[in-house]
């Protein structure tokens, strides 16, 4: 069941990719703890964007698709 609109999914997927690139930069500079946090956040954002489902939005009872009549 999806609870994100197409735009929200795209923004999450792109944002997740940006976080993963930031993690690579942090790893290169030796900040391993920061890199691990950025990778975790990036993967979570990217996966929620790719699947169109956000568990936090579901817990809050928010569904962006209802606004569009889907």
Note whether residue 12 is domain-resident.
Answer: yes
Asked whether residue 16 is domain-assigned, the answer is yes
pLDDT score of 68: 56
Residue 13 lies in a domain: yes
Cβ neighbours of residue 67 under 8 Å, at least 6 residues apart? 5
CA–CA gap between residue 53 and residue 59 (Å, rounded): 11
Give a yes or no: residue 70 inside a domain: no
Residue 60 in any domain: the answer is: yes
Domain annotation covers residue 18: yes
From first to last of its 70 residues, the chain has per-residue pLDDT tens of: 889 999 999 999 999 999 999 999 999 999 999 999 999 999 999 999 999 999 988 898 887 776 655 5
Other Cβ atoms less than 10 A from the Cβ of 9: the count is 19
**Number of domains comprising the chain:** 1
Helix-then-strand count for the chain, H and E: 4, 0
> What pLDDT score does 36 carry?
96
Asked if 45 and 19 touch (Cβ cutoff 8 Å), the reply is yes
Residue 1 lies in a domain: no
d(CA 68, CA 53): 16
Give the predicted TM-score (pTM) of the model. Answer: 0.81
Which range of residues forms the domain containing residue 21?
Answer: 6-64
């Amino acid at each position: 069941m999806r609870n994100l609109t197409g735009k929200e999914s795209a923004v999450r997927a792109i944002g997740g990719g940006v976080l993963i690139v930031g993690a690579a930069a942090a790893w290169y500079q030796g900040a391993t703890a920061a890199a691990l946090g950025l990778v975790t956040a990036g993967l979570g954002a990217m996966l929620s964007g790719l699947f169109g489902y956000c568990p936090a939005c579901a817990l809050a009872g928010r569904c962006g698709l209802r606004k569009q009549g889907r």
